[in-house]
Amino acid sequence: MDHLQVPKNAHAAAPQTPDRRFLSVQGACRFQALWKNSLGRKGQSCKGDAPSIRAKQVRSIFIPIMAGASLSDRLIACLGGTAGIALTALVTQSAMGASAAWVWLVAPMGASAVLIFAVPASPLAQPWSVIGGNVVSALVGVGVALIVPWPAIASGIAVGGAILAMSLLRCLHPPGGAAALTAVIGGPAVVSAGWLFPLFPVGLNAVILTATGILYHSISKHSYPHRPDRHATISMRDSDDQPFHPDDLDSALADLGETFDISPEDLGQLFNRVRYHAAKRRKV
């Protein structure tokens, strides 16, 4: 099929998909019916389904909201985080010495490990984001701490400055905000390290943790640094432009075998908007 059919109500072509975990029982049922209708499937009646819907709502609280997240992936992330942090601490401690005068492992590495091992496909978890984000943010934090004498104000400026610096350098990494904050309120050991703090231990920690992530994911068969699988790309024409069902999205995520930091509902909404705009473009 060369052209997509544009619905008469074009503005409603892509139904909104709110987070079902926070809907009321009636709202959840209504959402389910609307979702099925938007995909060309007849909605089911909600009468008598309130207990089952409540049970699904309770279960949904404990279901990973990230697309592609499976139990095996979570176990792999646990093992990877354990190995990554332990190895980072041991190597850094060996290189810098175990003296109490030095900080040989910084807390932001814990958050970095979550990203590297739990969502390796995320742009926020890529090597440059991890290393550059932590080091740049720590540099900003040290500079602000030297200039601004009030810790409370310095903390805010450091985090805000870190966000700006990471954004400009294309290395946005959430734990970087913690690295900047640590440089301001980290205590005597951090203050005594001065401008060396962003390199030792922050930079060294980040490099070791990233290298561990690359090695670990090569064994676990996850793409890190992440590169999209070009062989898995299917054009809209190849898909016959047929409406998809949420189960189809789950199957596609299983094919890719990666965890993405976006919810399946948001992916579904995004695909609907892509279909709508593609149809609108082809009609012009």
pLDDT, tens only, 78-123? 999 999 999 999 999 998 887 655 788 999 999 999 999 999 989 9
Residue-level pLDDT at 2: 46
User: Which 8-state DSSP code applies to residue 12?
Assistant: G
Please state, in angstroms and rounded to a whole number, the distance separating the CA atoms of residues 139 and 128: 16
∠ CA 128-65-162, rounded to 5°: 30
Cis status of the peptide bond prior to 7, with omega within 30 of 0: no
Residue-level pLDDT at 10: 44
Q: Indicate the average pLDDT of the chain.
A: 79
**Within the chain, which residues score under 70 in pLDDT?**
1-51, 57-69, 99-101, 229-244, 263
Enumerate residues 6+ apart whose C-beta is below 8 A from 159. 177, 180, 181
Enumerate residues 6+ apart whose C-beta is below 8 A from 168. none
Residue-level pLDDT at 214: 97
Verdict on whether the full-model pTM lies above 0.85? no
Residue-level pLDDT at 125: 96
Residue-level pLDDT at 14: 46
